[in-house]
Amino acid sequence: MQYEDNMGAVGGVDPPIPTYTGAPVGNLRGPTNLQGGLASRPPVSGGASAVVPDPELVNGQEADANLGLYLDFNSAEYPNGPQPIRGTLGATDPGPRTYEYEKLNPDTYAPPSTDSGTVPQAMWPLGLSHNLFGSGEESGWARQQNQDVLPVATAMAGVDMRLAPNAYRELHWHTSGEWALVLKGGVRVAAIDENGATFVDDVTEGDVWFFPQGVPHSLQALHEGAEFLLIFDSGTFSEQETFLATEMIMRTPVSVWAKDLQTDVSSFDYTPTAEKYIFNGTPAPANISEQNITSSAGALWGPTGYTYHWSQQEFHNTTGGSVKYLDPLTFPVADTFSAALVVLEPGAMREVHWHTTSDEWSYFLQGSARITVYQAPAASATFDYTAGDVAYIQMANGHYIENTGPDDVVFLEVLQAKQFSDVSAAQWLALTPRQIVKDTLNLTDAVLDAIPREKTIIKPGNPNMTAIAGGGQNY
| Phi (first) and psi of residue 265, to 5 degrees | -60, -25
Concatenated DSSP letters of 111-154: --TT-BS-----EEEGGGSPPEE-SSTT-EEEEEE-TTT-TT--
145: nearest Cα among 388, 320, 342, 357:
388
- Point out the catalytic residue in the list 351, 402, 413, 454: 413
**Peptide bond before 377: cis, by omega within 30 degrees of 0?**
yes
**Peptide bond before 16: cis, by omega within 30 degrees of 0?**
yes
- Count the neighbouring beta carbons within 10 Å of the beta carbon of residue 48: 9
**Peptide bond before 82: cis, by omega within 30 degrees of 0?**
yes
Residue 445 C-alpha from the chain's centroid = 40
Does the annotation count 102 as an active-site position? Answer: no
380 vs 277, 374, 391, CA distance in Å? 41, 4, 15
Concatenated DSSP letters of 31-94: -GGGSTTTSPPPPSSSSS----SS----TTTTS-GGG-----GGG--TTT----EETTEE----
Task: Please tell me the distance from the alpha carbon of residue 321 to that of residue 314, in angstroms, as a whole number.
Answer: 13
Residues with catalytic annotation? 413
